[in-house]
Structure 1
């Protein structure tokens, strides 16, 4: 699959929902964008689709999947910006501006925030999630999924029918967590962050990628594709605006319905109709290009500004938070994320440098916090 600007636009829509959800919650605008958290669910499905498509294309072109190259690429793509943000949060916390704990910083550095949340239990859930590094839980879910997915693909390509094996695994990855979610009677809020219980969203994207790569997926006409993308986007926007945060229902099928909606939008956008052109234009596509950096920086910035708001509140505070977050995200994207991602460094040095940086940030956290 070649680059699709409309999918970046889809990222832009979702990051806007997530950021507005967080910003409004601390600006006295609680009723606005109360379902913006669902944007994370859309990101899961979109990531599952894109990463699987990338790996299947590599297998189709080369006959194999090079795990070392894949992980080096992920390190270049994800770690530099995230480690820099963690380091900034550590320094600001040591100075008393933020309140990240040592355990929060170390968990975010090693991409295990969601396990940190689960291990802390309901008693410490709010302290971790509301902390400046709380949103890194979803990055931990995705990165651990990447490891599992790459290994599954390497095993699947050894079979005679790679696509069939992956399809079966994906269905299992969707059905089993749903059964588990619906069989848990003693519901805990921490289950919202459990990798296994969020697998249906990710595997829905995997299943779509396998289906489309198999060549058996029907191609809807432009009119049908536009209707799919537009109606799906309308459903998402409605959820972003009005959905309530009710974890039991969401994990017991709600997020899976969001995944189905996301799949419909992706299929519609890939037919390059009128809606795809809208998604691939300003402002959604540029916002999607900086979505990772914006996701990383917005909550630490919101945490700082909410504590030092200088009398601002409501819409004025929201606009200040959004403006500062966007500016910092653009700088991080242009100065760190994009240039490092484009570096053609060998795999082993990249992996070694990545873990060296992780070790350095961990040590800094232990010393300063």
Structure 2
């Protein structure tokens, strides 16, 4: 789901998750235990992103990296469980259907609602860019659109209400291709080992691409590219494989808890010290090490959820924030751009508080009225009727996109007769 940082960078866009972030899709069977601290970890990640965009936390953009690792871990665990219980068979259509029910309804509502709000209240630049970016968002190719458009990630996001959706596109592309690869390698007695090898090798290749393609002037290509960010998803996937889970299972709960504490402190320190484009080491291996530390933390939390770190992350406020993290990620950036300092009449922490309250309210309503009903209770959202409803929803979005007028250029408003009269 994908960035603003320090006060001097208040124009930056979201870096996003997931499953920007997102609660994991329901598996084919419900026997999978729920690990509360992972919900809290999502809550921490989305809170960091919100503070980052408000200019109050320079390293908060790394919350998106945490979302990526969590998504890789959770999705791979579900797919491997299905392969193990189905004699190596993974129902790709069912998996993609669950992902669609989980992610697309909230996305469709946010995109449609944002188009209407920008049309009613936004500046011409917001409207123009929203219309330009919208089709790429729907196609889950927003990250490559922004890269091709040469939209500098760190310094030109304040006119793109969908700029944060580059990270959602990265995750959606992962959800499309990774299961296809697992169908080929998650077979036989050594399925877990095969997947672990592929995930580890893919992560190394992704790191090599980042090191090779990084531009010291503009890091947008490596920051938003699916290929150069895949290592975060793949390191999370690696921790869900049999070899990794067996290695973690050998740890007693107490040492796993101490390791969790050390990793959490290290990650937190890195977040405090990192400052985006002013931290070039991020793209020279720093981000890879951060993702590896996050993957190890997730593994240790699954082993010792009752540790001090696990209990802190499992607190009710953080878990609740984690449960609405996907919609919170979707809504916070449009809210940030629409409720600017000029419209509110104040800035600083007061503006941050307003943005957080409005974004949380929008996310809670989205989860209550859109996500949960479609995901858990609506029979029409499944099977053939679900596919028809999805097509109808995106057709309605296309119609909305077509009727929103392109703003006129400011240059066309010059009255030449007044210029003549003044001669």
* Greater relative contact order structure (CA < 8 Å, 6+ sep): 1
Compute the displacement of 1:366 (Å).
Answer: 2.7
Q: Over residues 186-216 of structure 1, what are the superposed CA-to-partner deviations in whole Å (9 max), with x where a residue is unaligned?
A: 5543211000000111100111101467645
1:213–1:129: structure 2 CA closer, same or farther, 3 Å change rule?
A: farther
Write the mapping of 1:1-369 to structure 2, written as runs, cut at 5 A: 1-23=32-54, 25=55, 32-63=56-87, 64-97=89-122, 99-100=126-127, 101=129, 102-122=131-151, 126-127=155-156, 130-158=159-187, 161-184=190-213, 186-187=215-216, 188-191=218-221, 192-211=223-242, 215-246=246-277, 248-270=280-302, 271-274=304-307, 275-306=309-340, 308-343=342-377, 344=379, 345-369=381-405
Q: Distance in 2 between matches of 1:289 and 1:123?
A: 31
Q: Distance in 2 between matches of 1:356 and 1:14?
A: 33
Matched with 2:14 is: none
Q: Distance in 2 between matches of 1:276 and 1:200?
A: 25
When structure 1 is superposed on structure 2, of 92-101 and 122-131 the one drifting more is 122-131
Compute the displacement of 1:180 (Å).
Answer: 1.9
4+ residue runs over 6 A deviation: none
Q: 5+ unaligned residues in a row in structure 2: which ranges?
A: 1-31, 406-423
Compute the displacement of 1:147 (Å).
Answer: 0.7
Q: Over residues 130-181 of structure 1, what are the superposed CA-to-partner deviations in whole Å (9 max), with x where a residue is unaligned?
A: 5111111100000100111110111113455212221221122111121222
When structure 1 is superposed on structure 2, of 194-203 and 158-167 the one drifting more is 158-167
1:202–1:110: structure 2 CA closer, same or farther, 3 Å change rule?
A: same
- Whether the aligned pair in 1 keeps the contact of 2:59 and 2:270 (CA below 8 Å) is yes
DSSP 3-state at the match of 1:3: coil
Matched with 1:29 is: none
1:185–1:93: structure 2 CA closer, same or farther, 3 Å change rule?
A: closer
Q: Decide which structure has the larger Cα Rg and report it.
A: 2
1:128–1:18: structure 2 CA closer, same or farther, 3 Å change rule?
A: closer
DSSP 3-state at the match of 1:36: coil
Q: Distance in 1 between matches of 2:327 and 2:212?
A: 37
Q: Distance in 1 between matches of 2:395 and 2:366?
A: 21
1:37–1:140: structure 2 CA closer, same or farther, 3 Å change rule?
A: same
Q: Distance in 2 between matches of 1:150 and 1:79?
A: 18
- Whether the aligned pair in 1 keeps the contact of 2:193 and 2:243 (CA below 8 Å) is no
Matched with 1:28 is: none
- Whether the aligned pair in 1 keeps the contact of 2:39 and 2:319 (CA below 8 Å) is yes
- Whether the aligned pair in 1 keeps the contact of 2:147 and 2:220 (CA below 8 Å) is yes
- Whether the aligned pair in 2 keeps the contact of 1:33 and 1:242 (CA below 8 Å) is no
Q: Distance in 1 between matches of 2:188 and 2:62?
A: 36
When structure 1 is superposed on structure 2, of 227-236 and 154-163 the one drifting more is 154-163
Aligned pair count reads: 362
Q: 5+ unaligned residues in a row in structure 1: which ranges?
A: 26-31
Q: Distance in 1 between matches of 2:248 and 2:262?
A: 20
- Whether the aligned pair in 1 keeps the contact of 2:36 and 2:305 (CA below 8 Å) is no
Give me the TM-score of the superposition, normalised by structure 1: 0.91
Q: Distance in 2 between matches of 1:338 and 1:233?
A: 31
DSSP 3-state at the match of 1:342: helix
Matched with 2:410 is: none
